[in-house]
Chains A and B, each alone.
Chain A
Amino acid sequence: MMEHHVELDNITKFYDAQERLHALHEVSFDIDHGEFVSIVGPSGCGKSTLLKIIAGLDTPSSGEVRLQGGLVHGPHSKISMVFQAFGLFPWRTVLENVEYGLEMRKSPKKERVEISEQYLEMMGLGGCEHMYPKQLSGGMRQRVGIARALAVDPEVVLMDEAFSAIDEVTGDVLREEVSEIHKELGKTFVLVTHNLSEALELSDKVVVLSSRPAKVKKIFSVDLERPRDRTHSSFIHMHKDILHLLKEELENTIIRHKLKGINELQKLHDIEGAGA
């Protein structure tokens, strides 16, 4: 049996020690080598928390994350990340930002400049090395973020809403490029997003989480030819199915909250009734 690249095994997460704020409930799924997986779910369901747990930025209350069979606890040198608000250091130039990861790994200056320039070139940022992040547009900043994540040669690239702070057209172009990079470098990508088209466009697999506490609702395999065509009937169908699932989740939550509210009201009435 082929070993999975990343395995999530019964991840449960409470935000508080009293176990009242239940974020994730027994989330399990596997990610294969070189697979592009997207995690979608109703907003606030804890998908970013799940990504943070994979990244080692947060610890699960129970369950474990394994990378190639080995337990992941804390940040891992083979796991890198692209951030929603880009996470660039404004006081560092573009080149210095990309160098950061290599610098933390104590690689010699000459080598890290060489590698960083290579990735900047790849992200179409040749010539911008000595600019500061404030001089760049949002899309260009995220290119720097991606170059920085790739420069440390990770096996797994995590993307936390990586395109959501970028305008649509710029995002489209960047998504296409990320898709290319995924194909060329053969690294494993995990993307958290609330944008279903984005998930379907990029992923081999879309994991749909339920509302809080989040469980795996369904996993869709996206066997569509790349580059993906958003107007293709299968694409549209799958989009519809996931959307339907998510809406159902959302409605369930609303009904649950309403029921809870009615219950509370009923209790109040009962108390009043008993008092009278």
Chain B
Amino acid sequence: MSVEKQKVLPLSLTSRVLTPSKLVNYLWLLPLVVGFAAWEMITRFHLVPHSSLPTFSGVLVVFFSSIQDPAFLLRIAHSFLTLICGLVLAFSFALPMGFVAGSKNRFDLTLTPLVMLVGALPDLSFLPLLVLWLGPGSAAAVIMASVAAFFPIYFTVREGTKNIPRELFHVTTIFGSNRISTFTKMVLPAISPYMFSGLRLAYDFDWEIIIAIEIATSVAGIGSFIQGTVSGGALESGFAAILAIGLVAVVVDRVFFGTLESWSRKWA
């Protein structure tokens, strides 16, 4: 019982004391702090002109005022939503295709060479065509993001499916599972550790793709904001935007994928 109680009281004193062993978990902050301090020094003493690199403190000031600006937040939200749409679109194709390729050799032999062929081409080389067809809007960005996200999801799902022991399929059959419940209650959890890695990679790829597209085609996201501010000389705003994206990317990565992975670590 006492163990249970400790679990429901996360604010109990014991869990808040920072012991040396817990401190190790925050060691990754050290290089960051050193880096930012070095940045501040270099710019403070004008080793680099402010027109090339603003001071870190200046960036922070702009950052904190920017994140209170609805227009700025809207741009971040716009980029983020574009990314999510691309991911969802990619996932809804890559999951069934990866599963089919992983479970039926026949399909694998037809599908995978095709997927590899398309994957071997640099995704962004299609961008001018996409813009020509769809216009320089979010549609082109979503399509581009989903193309980039497709490959890691497809290959990890395929690999995960290939690794499901045959016996587990027998188990589902013996106990009278239908196709849908076999997929949702057996295949999905079985491939999930692979799939999560694929999604995480896709998510990282997609940030790059989205920002690149926004810079190249000046659509209304945070990428074009960076482009605009930097070329207009407002470097602090540009850096503040980069800081904001970084923060969003890392927080989502930690919270969303971290949770998923800690679930699969429990049993895998």
Stretch at the interface among A12-20, A34-42, A87-95, A224-232: A87-95
Within 130-149 of A, Cβ neighbours of B (below 8 Å) are at 132-134
| B176 within 8 A of partner (CB) | yes
Partner of A87, one of B167, B176, B264: B167
Q: Are B170 and A87 in contact (CB under 8 A)?
A: yes
Q: Does A191 contact B (CB under 8 A)?
A: no
Whether a CB of chain B sits under 8 angstroms from the CB of A105 is: yes
Q: Is there contact, CB below 8 Å, between B176 and A75?
A: yes
A77 touches B170 (CB 8 A): no
Instruction: Return the contact of B186 from the options A89, A101, A105, A133 (Cβ within 8 A).
Output: A89
Count how many chain A residues have C-beta atoms less than 8 Å from C-beta atoms of the other chain.
25
Contact B173 A100 (CB under 8 A): no
Nearest CB in chain B: distance from A55 CB, A: 6
Dominant secondary structure at the B interface: helix
Q: Which of A57, A85, A90, A133 contacts B174 (CB 8 A)?
A: A57
A105 to B176, CA, bound (A): 7
Tell me whether B167 and A91 are in contact (CB under 8 A). Answer: no
Q: Given the complex, which residues of B lie within 8 Å of A80, measured CB to CB?
A: 174-175
Which of A52, A57, A91, A134 interacts with B190 by CB under 8 Å? A91
B197 at the interface (CB under 8 A from A): no
Question: Are the CB atoms of B176 and A77 closer together than 8 Å?
Answer: yes
CA distance A207 to B5 in the complex (A): 57
> How far, in angstroms, from A253 to B189 measured CA to CA in the complex?
44
The answer to whether residues A132 and B175 also contact, given A83-B170, A85-B167, A87-B167 and a CB cut-off of 8 A, is: no
Could you tell me if A100 and B175 are in contact, using CB atoms closer than 8 angstroms? yes
Q: Which of A75, A85, A89 contacts B173 (CB 8 A)?
A: A75
CA A52 to CA B192, docked complex, whole Å: 29
A89→B189 contact, CB < 8 A = yes
Q: Is B165 an interface residue (CB 8 A)?
A: yes
Which of B168, B175, B176, B266 has the most chain A CB atoms closer than 10 A to its own CB? Answer: B175
Q: A7: shortest Cβ distance to chain B, in Å?
A: 20
Bound-state CA distance A134–B265 (Å) is: 11
Q: Could you tell me if B174 and A132 are in contact, using CB atoms closer than 8 angstroms?
A: no
Name B172-199 residues within 8 Å CB distance of A.
172-177, 181, 186, 189-190, 192
State the CA gap A85–B264 with chains docked (Å): 21
- The answer to whether B173 and A90 have CB atoms under 8 Å apart is no
In the complex, which residues of chain B have a beta carbon less than 8 angstroms from the beta carbon of A55?
Answer: 170, 174
**Whole-angstrom distance between the alpha carbons of A91 and B185 in the complex?**
10
Q: Is the CB of B170 within 8 A of A104?
A: no
Is B264's CB under 8 angstroms from A91's CB? yes
Say yes or no for A179: interface residue by CB 8 A criterion: no
In the complex, are the beta carbons of A132 and B170 less than 8 A apart?
A: no
Q: Contact: B167 with A104, CB < 8 Å?
A: no
Contact A84 B167, CB 8 Å, known A89-B189, A91-B190, A91-B264: yes
Closest to B186 in A: A89
Knowing that A84-B167, A100-B175 touch, tell me 16 more A-B residue pairs with CB under 8 angstroms.
A52-B170, A55-B174, A56-B174, A75-B174, A80-B175, A81-B171, A83-B167, A83-B170, A85-B167, A87-B168, A90-B267, A90-B268, A101-B175, A104-B177, A105-B175, A132-B267
